[in-house]
Amino acid sequence: MPDLLLNALKSSNNGRPPVWLMRQAGRYMPSYRALKEKYSFHDFCLKPELITQITLMPIEQLDVDAAILFSDILLPLQALGLKVTYEEKIGPKIYPAIRTREQVENLQLEPMENCFKGIPLAIDTLRNTLKVPLLGFAGAPFTLASYVIEGETGKDLRHTKEWMVSDPQGFQMLLDLMAEVSIAFLHLQIKAGVQAVQLFDTWAQALSPAQFEQYSIKMMRKVKDALPPDIPVIFFSRGGVSNALMMAKAGPEAISVDWTVDLASLKNSVPPSLSLQGNLDPAWLYAPPEKLVKAVKDLLATMQNHPGFIFNLGHGILPDVPYSNVKLLVDTVKYATY
């Protein structure tokens, strides 16, 4: 069986498109919810047996073409001495929120190896178990900074933007520190054996084009440049075609875009060597099965015979979609004719 995902990341896949899904392990799965009765989300991210077990759930149940390490973009902030909590219905919280240069200067990054001993152990077991590639990931510097500044998921990024416009140098110091966090977290995963990585810049869509270039693209490039050149890197951001085209120019092997981008036009506007991942609206998973199948087939038809296409959603799976629809989506990509 040729490796569909790694080939697609080299824009040389001649088979059907590979499929994996952002947030493929999560609360929409009965098996995940059952395990959550017994353990905290922190246990899920720290204990090697749990990391392994949860990473494998979508492989065993959905039979997707790639595994993504079970972890979280906010976890490595703990290596700065910040407290990160996850509470049901409240979402993540970071203490203390960082809003001054002095605070940035007082943060020190502990080696990731000391903080997250379970991650390399889990990656080692996973590589020995999996027949599909294992992806690693990290938050991009801007998105990490937005969580650190807001102390939670920021609705309008009020504090982030206030700092950005009133003290750009101080803000840049924080971004540089976040790049260090991202790079160290990815090095930990790459040394242990992940085969490609995705950088999530979830909140960069709140930026103007000029700010996107300066705070998202430049910082994602800085992270990529610090990684071994043989590890394919996927840049993920939302915010439409303008952001997609800027990401395309920044040098990743692949870009992952949301459903506001027309992939058929995008593929004609970027070099053929750039792989494209996406971009079904995750809301289709609420649709009646026949409508979902049609939406999946329409996207497949658009990208037919594209050697660098990776089927995914435009953003993560929402926690309350029917499990049966997620399975149907994956099976449609793998087995349907269109």
Say which residues have a Cβ less than 8 Å from residue 179's Cβ, sequence separation at least 6: 141, 219, 222, 223, 226
Query: Which one among 81, 91, 272, 322 touches ligand CP3, defined by CB under 6 A?
Result: 91
> 82, 139, 140, 74: which is closest to 106 by C-alpha?
82
* Binding of residue 200 to ligand CP3 (CB under 6 A): yes
Distance CA 312, CA 332 (A): 12
Contact criterion met (CB below 8 Å) for 167 and 101: yes
Cβ neighbour number for residue 5 with a 10 Å cutoff: 24
Q: Does 27 bind ligand CP3 (CB under 6 A)?
A: yes
The reply to whether 277 sits near ligand CP3 by the rule CB under 6 A is: no
The secondary element (H helix, E strand) that includes residue 135 is: strand 134-139
Give the β-pairing of 83-87 and 91-95. Answer: antiparallel
Which of 74, 80, 188, 296 forms a contact with ligand CP3 (CB under 6 A)? 74
Residue 256, interface with ligand CP3 (CB under 6 A)?
A: no
Residue 119 binds ligand CP3 (CB under 6 A): no
Asked whether position 320 contacts ligand CP3 by CB under 6 A, the answer is: no
Binding part of the chain for ligand CP3, among 68-76, 184-192, 210-218, 258-266 by CB under 6 A, reads 68-76
* In the complex, minimum distance from the CB of residue 145 to ligand CP3, in angstroms, rounded to a whole number: 12
Could you tell me if residue 323 is left (phi over 0), alpha (psi between -120 and 50 degrees) or otherwise beta?
alpha
The correct pick among 29, 50, 51, 70 for binding ligand CP3 (CB under 6 A) is 70
Q: Which of 10, 16, 36, 159 binds ligand CP3 (CB under 6 A)?
A: 36
User: Is 153 near ligand CP3 (CB under 6 A)?
Assistant: yes
Nearest residue by C-beta to ligand CP3? Answer: 202
Q: Which of 62, 73, 183, 217: binder of ligand CP3 (CB under 6 A)? A: 73
The smaller minimum CB distance to ligand CP3, of residues 74 and 217, is found at 74
Contact (Cβ atoms closer than 8 angstroms) between residue 261 and residue 240: yes
| Piece of 88-96, 124-132, 220-228, 269-277 that binds ligand CP3 (CB under 6 A) | 88-96
Q: Cα dist. 136→132, 231, 304, 312 in Å?
A: 13, 10, 27, 16
Contact 250, 213 (CB under 8 A): no
Question: Residue numbers of the site for ligand CP3 (CB under 6 A)?
Answer: 22-27, 36, 41, 68, 70, 72-74, 86, 88, 91-92, 137, 153, 200, 202, 316, 319
